[in-house]
Amino acid sequence: MRRRSCPGCGVPFQSDDPEAYGYVPAEVLARDEAALLCRRCFRLRHYGDAAGGPPALEAVRAAVGQAVKAADCVLLVADAFDFEASIAPPVRDLVRPPLVVAVNKVDLLPPRTPLPEVGRWAEGRLAAAGLPRAEVHLISARTGWGTRRLWERLAQRAGRGTVAVLGATNVGKSALLAHWVQAVGYQGPAPTVSPVPGTTLALLRLRLVQDGFTLLDTPGIPPPGRVSDRLCPECAKRVVPDRRLQGRLWQVAPGQAMMLGTLAVLEAAGPVPEGTVLIAYGAQGLPMHRTRTDRVEQLLARPPRSWADVPCQNCRARLAEAGCAEHRITLAHAHDLAIHGLGWVTLRGGPLDLRLRLPEGVHWTVRPNLLGPKDRWPAP
């Protein structure tokens, strides 16, 4: 259902006067997003001031640290699609027990994904990343799935105290809070940031009084190394999935490469055991194709041929200026190679030596597979 007023300030949306409260461009308003905010609240929330410009990481860290210190319980919101990026430092360094982790966007997982298995997988990944022991909830802020149960658990754990809500940018923290504001009933002062004297940021304090506890929202923490953060807003939108993921199969063969747009190139760097398959998961808007390795350079140098090519010419030029990096990775059966901010590939068969080409500074992680049979995992 279309929201008529901004959940940040309560002012009715309007698309006529960009200088007035409640302004949202008409095309954004038409998208009917659950997490829609007016331009003023969006800027306040994401950039700490209405003039725009991202806040310095140190200021974000300080604001989050302050909220975590004051809290009786910490809620970390992570992204099921980009899990590794959403628990990487500096996010992981800011959490402390008692910790609840909400793995958001599970609506993107393919149908019939066994969710209890995903929950155990997430627990394993959190432990491997050195996070404190946490209660894990799978949720979808978009559909509301799992959010009531999460709310009830927070109410139990916080009593009449405070829950600090933190997460990397774009994990869907605003969408979750907006969902709760709507579903639970919000009775406090308008939840728009008001600057704390002496800082460029403020904490957005929501008092969701229905169950007597306070949620302290915090500014989104920008994680380093995500492809999506290197792109213009249009290209970034195209690499973030919007519908259920569908794996795309690549029968690995010597002399062939797989290209994820022109953002990542994968090729076998050694012998390929028979029947080795990579299954790629990424946004529907991200073109993925196989090609001969001797054509890769040519394809990387070719300007985008249509609006459907990702990234656009401007992004390509910017990325080219920063340079690219080549990584050698050995991937074992039933493991994923996750490229932060882009997606992942799962290996069936193998083992496989891979050459991975990425824009300089983009991070990747090898992990046990998120989707598909969890057979033949090495003992922890």
Q: Give least dist CB 284 to ligand GDP, A.
A: 12
Q: How far apart are CA 173 and CA 175, in angstroms?
A: 5
Q: Choose between 140 and 346: whose C-beta lies nearer to ligand GDP.
A: 140
Q: Could you tell me the sign of the dihedral formed by the alpha carbons of 349, 355, 357, 360, in that order?
A: positive
- What 3-state DSSP class applies to 169? coil
Q: Which of 75, 84, 88, 104 binds ligand GDP (CB under 6 A)?
A: 104
Contacts with ligand GDP in 159-178 (CB under 6 A)?
A: 167, 169-175
Name which position in 11, 28, 29, 35 contacts ligand GDP (CB under 6 A): 35
Q: Which lies closer to ligand GDP via its Cβ, residue 142 or residue 348?
A: 142
Q: Could you give the CA distance from residue 2 to residue 256 in angstroms, rounded to a whole number?
A: 47
Query: Can you tell me which of 74, 83, 101, 105 binds ligand GDP, judged by CB under 6 A?
Result: 105
Single residue of 220, 225, 311, 350 touching ligand GDP by CB under 6 A: 220
CA atoms within 13 A on the CB side of 194: 6
Q: Phi and psi at residue 186, in whole multiples of 5°? A: -115, 130
**Residue closer to ligand GDP (CB basis): 79 or 336:** 79
> Can residue 154 be called a binding residue for ligand GDP (CB under 6 A)?
no
Q: Is 137 in the site for ligand GDP (CB under 6 A)?
A: no
- DSSP letter string, 178-193: HHHHHHH---SS----
**Given the complex with ligand GDP, which of 91 and 258 has the nearer CB atom?**
91
Does 108 sit near ligand GDP (CB under 6 A)? yes
Give the shortest CB-70-to-ligand GDP separation in angstroms.
Answer: 21
Of residues 231 and 354, the one with the C-beta less far from ligand GDP? 231
Q: How many residues bind ligand GDP (CB under 6 A)?
A: 18
Contact by Cβ (8 Å): 276, 252: yes
Q: Does residue 319 bind ligand GDP (CB under 6 A)?
A: no
Handedness of CA 286, 291, 293, 294 (dihedral sign): negative
Residue with Cβ nearer ligand GDP (33 or 135): 33
Q: φ, ψ for residue 372 (rounded to 5)?
A: 90, 175
- Interface stretch with ligand GDP, choices 91-99, 140-148, 291-299, 317-325 (CB under 6 A): 140-148
Sign of CA dihedral 61, 66, 67, 68: positive
Residues 141, 181 contacting (CB under 8 angstroms): no
CB-based burial of residue 145 (10 Å sphere; 0-12 exposed, 13-18 middle, 19+ buried)?
middle
List 137, 142, 226, 238, residue binding ligand GDP (CB under 6 A): 142
If the CB atoms of residues 139 and 347 are measured against ligand GDP, the closer one turns out to be 139
Q: Is 146 among the residues that bind ligand GDP (CB under 6 A)?
A: no
- Please, are residues 164 and 71 in contact by the beta-carbon 8 Å criterion? yes
Q: Is 102 in the site for ligand GDP (CB under 6 A)?
A: no
Using a 10 angstrom Cβ sphere, with 0-12 exposed, 13-18 middle and 19 or more buried, the burial of residue 92 is middle
Q: Whose CA is closest to 211, among 160, 162, 137?
A: 160
In the complex, least distance from residue 237 CB atom to ligand GDP, rounded to whole angstroms: 8
Q: Which two tokens stand for residue 219?
A: 């500014």
Least CB distance to ligand GDP at residue 240 (A) = 6
Q: In the numeric block, which tokens belong to residue 120?
A: 């155990």
75, 100, 141, 371: which one contacts ligand GDP (CB under 6 A)? Answer: 141
The site for ligand GDP (CB under 6 A) is made up of 33, 35, 104-105, 107-108, 140-142, 167, 169-175, 220
